Amino acid sequence: MADPGYTLPVWVAAAARAALGQLLAEPFLPRPLLRLDPVASASDPAALTPVPVEAAALLEPGRALAMARCDPGDGLDLTRNLLIWVELSWLDPAPSGDWLLLEAGEGVGIHADSGALCLSAFARELLELNLAPLLPPGRGLRLRLTLPAGRSLAARTSNAAFGVVDGLALIGTQAEVQRSAAPDQLAAVRAELARRAAAPGGCPDLVLVIGENGLDLAPRLGLPAALLLKAGNWLGPALVAAAEQGVQRLLLFGYQGKLIKLAGGIFHTHHHLADGRREVLTALAALQGIPGPQLAALHGAASVDAALLELAAWDAAAADRLRAAVAVAVEERSAAYLARYGQERMQVGALLFDRRRQPVTVGPRGEQLLEALRRPVAEAPSEPEI
């Protein structure tokens, strides 16, 4: 039976576990057992999953190297066959108690502003779950990650526009790969909505995100993780399914270059199926009275972000008005889509962020929902201004 497709953080954790085995003088295991579910009981053998690695060796006393090769399963994924090197060495824990020091080697994405390795909370948690229980007392670990092909692969992504440079980021939020454009992704969304609706109290509120960046950013704005659901590109059917399961208030939370498609009535947002972003942006700009030369520049821009930044350089107020018009159009077209399926009662708001992962505009209904759904300030992390 083939292994399921796993996200990049799982393969990194597998290589790290194999390298730690070498530091501990264990026999090499080609399929080390990993805990992939942070909430599963550590004592439950069923919670351990074998994940293959390619090799591991002790380089010198106290220093080991292991290699794994990423297998994201069926479907298109640029991390397929990506070679992963994890080098581990012993480290005295920091006075703060931090026992795991992560370093970015070649091909690993870092935040341009801080130089820190770019990884999700799930990626770090996965490493801690699988390494901490095996550490001898008083020991810490220095982990240096290298992705030999990471820099060239990152050039095919929008990482740099999000402030991540030099390679691929570890931003997975779960173990198994979800197919954002495949039918099984929509089935998973519907199943999760049904599960939430069946829980005590039902599922009156929902924050629908498209991808990993939304999952990572939303809690930083104070939106409870329990309300988040990743819809992938199936936004239209996901909206209808949410309404059918009793959701009363839904906040669409996503990158402006994706959600702008909804403003044009495109409710499956994968670029292989439909685009229309330039046309939608230019039409909305024309309705705002923006003159011809600027309309031509908007239509010819490489991305929605680039178009709006160029417009802001000409007239910042005009760019703000256009962003606001996009958010309003997303909300209005979403309401019209729901009405087509007899689901007018669900409120839909929109919050859009840019490739720097900064919120840039929120619709009038979205502003109300954001205020209603976010945690009290005392409980939430620091919140960027919108």
Domain total of the chain: 2
Q: Which domain holds residue 215?
A: 183-373
User: What value, to the nearest 5°, has the Cα angle with vertex 199 and ends 196 and 201?
Assistant: 100
175 within a domain of the structure (yes/no): no
- pLDDT tens for each residue of 3-15: 568 999 999 999 9
| Pair 146, 108 in one domain | yes
**Beta strands 48-50 and 83-91: pairing type?**
unpaired
Distance CA 82, CA 290 (A): 46
372-386 pLDDT per residue, tens = 998 754 344 444 444
Question: Is residue 15 domain-shared with residue 79, that is, in the same domain?
Answer: yes
pTM beyond cutoff 0.85: no
Same domain, yes or no: 150 and 262:
no
Does 151 lie in the same domain as 202? no
Q: Which of 77, 88, 223, 91 is nearest to 156 (CA)?
A: 77
Residue type for 341, please?
A: Y
Identify whether residues 342 and 254 lie together within a single domain: yes
Q: Answer yes or no: do 200 and 160 share one domain.
A: no
Instruction: Say whether both 200 and 254 belong to one domain.
Output: yes
205 located within any domain: yes
Q: Please give the C-alpha separations between residue 381 and each of 94, 228, 376, in angstroms, as whole numbers.
A: 25, 16, 10
The answer to whether residue 380 is domain-embedded is no
Which residue stretches of the chain have pLDDT < 70?
1-4, 41-43, 74-77, 158, 161, 177-184, 269-274, 376-386
Same domain assignment for residues 155 and 240: no
CATH of the domain at 51: 3.30.2110.10
- Is residue 384 one of the residues assigned to a domain? no
Q: Domain for residue 379, yes or no?
A: no
Q: Is residue 248 part of a domain?
A: yes
Task: Indicate the SS3 state at residue 189.
Answer: helix
Closest by CA to 182, choosing from 105, 75, 277, 260, is: 75
Residue 173 lies in a domain: no
My answer on whether 163 and 192 are in the same domain is no
Report whether 35 contacts 70 (CB < 8 A).
Answer: no
What would the DSSP string read from start to end of 305-341? HHHHHHHHHH-HHHHHHHHHHHHHHHHHHHHHHHHHT
